[in-house]
Structure 1
Amino acid sequence: MIESLLASLQALKATPEFAVGLTLVAFQVALLFYRKSKIVLLQPVIVAVTMVIMVLLLLDVPYSDYQVAAEPVAFLIGPATIALAVPLYSQLRRIRQLFGPILITLLCGGSLTVILSVLFCWLLGGSEMLQMSLAPRSVTMPIAILVSDSLGGSMSLTAAFVMITGVFGAALAPWLLKLARVTEPAARGLSYGINAHAIGTVRALEESEECGAFSALGMSLFGVSLALLLPLLL
């Protein structure tokens, strides 16, 4: 039976629908597993990525082929990001009320994520290339890899750092915020967005619409600010 299944998959991998189907099925299985297990470290993104890698290795499918075939899924990232404007709009009055604290949080929190990343890497003997790869790790992937490239970092390393930061940030943030007794949805959302970008925003939306809106706001403002200012500062 297993041999028959593998033979079917070998024939299926040559079709354009294979990569899209594999991506969607892997994420749905990972999401179901996460909801059933409630294990915070088993975030759906990292589990789905692991499943996709295992299947590609098992079927000997080059990643470049998978990347090209999965382009329709990658294209949907744009509309999904734009859709975050819906909870933002619903919280517009609240955002105006907290505009000053938002800017202070963005300045302090965003600066610390970059400074501490570069500082600890330097103290541990990391090369300048590694430091520049780490610097934009807390912003969303498309911005992070472009900033890393402009600073002389490695885009591949930055992509890995961004993924790790998002997964562990989304997993550990609820526990850390509870430990610090942070209960205000706006404050929790900004923390998710600034420290764990898109994956953190997904986790914030699970808590409440307000938390998700402020996470999307933090992710967006921090991403734009870092893309504009970090190359000038470094």
Structure 2
Amino acid sequence: MATNTWLSVLTATPLFAVGLTLAAYLAGSRLFQRLKRPAWLPAILIASLLLAGALALIGLPYATYQQDATWLTVLLGPATVALGMPLYQQLPRVVELWRPLTICLPVAATLAAFYALAIAWLLGSSDTILASIAAKSVTAPIAIGITEQLGGTTALLLGALLVTGVITIPCVSLAARLLHIDDERLIGFALGLNGHAIGTVRAFEISPTAGAFASLGMSLTGIFTALLLPLAWRLIGMGG
């Protein structure tokens, strides 16, 4: 009874969930710096693990935390739009590559959704799981809307987004080394296209140019997927 009363007091306002989230992020960022910024362990993953541990330790249900921290999700939209500034600053360099980027985007964005769905389908996943992971390479504000249209669950989507972003960073780095690619524009575009916001953060750590092209890849992938994925979903009969 005392524990329930204590939790009720903490969750009386959204401030506790917001403060806990910010504290986990700051602690994750600090630990990330002390570990010398490993590519395989980004700050957001550390923060997520710390936050999950804190929720388990105090016994706060995830549903309650999610409800109280909802307005933080609303801020994802303006934060994504703000990435347009570095993209605008790199606009002349973007124009130089508009042809290969235009050809690459539909193929890469389609494959980003297809391979995850194919693996999940072969493993016998339900339609709900398939709908929840279909947009796992799209930035969260857009991915949430797509997932709701498809009939998936937001909680599973957010987990898929985190896993995708974390895995994208070492995979892109390894592919760049194996293929001897050192063009920051291409590396950044690949990080943003496949790793959404997490990949974009990593690209900005490389250089402003890589970050701008990551913003471009993330934005175009979101638009392309939002326009075509729900339509394709209905055409193959997954929507009902």
Normalising by the residue count of structure 2, what TM-score does the alignment of the two structures yield? 0.84
Q: 1:82 to 1:152 in 2, by over 3 A?
A: closer
Hey, what does 1:18 align to over in structure 2? 16
Partners of 1:151 and 1:20 in 2: CA distance: 29
Residues 12 and 18 of structure 1 are in contact (CA less than 8 Å); yes or no, is this contact kept in structure 2? no
Hey, what does 1:159 align to over in structure 2? 158
Q: 1:90 to 1:45 in 2, by over 3 A?
A: same
Amino acid at match of 1:35: Q
Partners of 2:7 and 2:149 in 1: CA distance: 40
SS in 1 for 2:109: helix
Residues 146 and 155 of structure 1 are in contact (CA less than 8 Å); yes or no, is this contact kept in structure 2? no
C-alpha deviation, 1:138, in angstroms: 0.8
Hey, what does 1:48 align to over in structure 2? 47
Q: 1:13 to 1:118 in 2, by over 3 A?
A: same
C-alpha deviation, 1:159, in angstroms: 2.2
Q: 2:69 matched to 1:70?
A: yes
Partners of 1:175 and 1:221 in 2: CA distance: 24
C-alpha deviation, 1:130, in angstroms: 2.9
Partners of 1:169 and 1:103 in 2: CA distance: 21
Partners of 2:67 and 2:133 in 1: CA distance: 27
Hey, what does 1:29 align to over in structure 2? 27
Partners of 2:156 and 2:218 in 1: CA distance: 20
Amino acid at match of 1:29: A
Structure 2 residue runs without a partner (length 5+):
1-5, 234-240
Hey, what does 2:131 align to over in structure 1? 132
C-alpha deviation, 1:225, in angstroms: 0.8
C-alpha deviation, 1:14, in angstroms: 5.1
Structure 1 residue runs of 4+, over 6 Å off? 9-12
Partners of 2:150 and 2:12 in 1: CA distance: 39
Partners of 2:154 and 2:77 in 1: CA distance: 20
C-alpha deviation, 1:93, in angstroms: 1.0
Q: Percent identity?
A: 38
Hey, what does 1:210 align to over in structure 2? 209
Q: 1:171 to 1:10 in 2, by over 3 A?
A: farther
* Superimposed CA distance per residue, residues 38-89 of structure 1 (whole angstroms, 9 cap, x where no aligned partner): 3333211121112112222222223344334434533432332222111101
Count of residue pairs brought into register by the alignment? 227
SS in 1 for 2:194: helix
Normalising by the residue count of structure 1, what TM-score does the alignment of the two structures yield? 0.86
* Superimposed CA distance per residue, residues 87-111 of structure 1 (whole angstroms, 9 cap, x where no aligned partner): 1010111111211111111112112
Cα RMSD, aligned residues only: 2.4
SS in 2 for 1:39: coil
C-alpha deviation, 1:12, in angstroms: 8.1
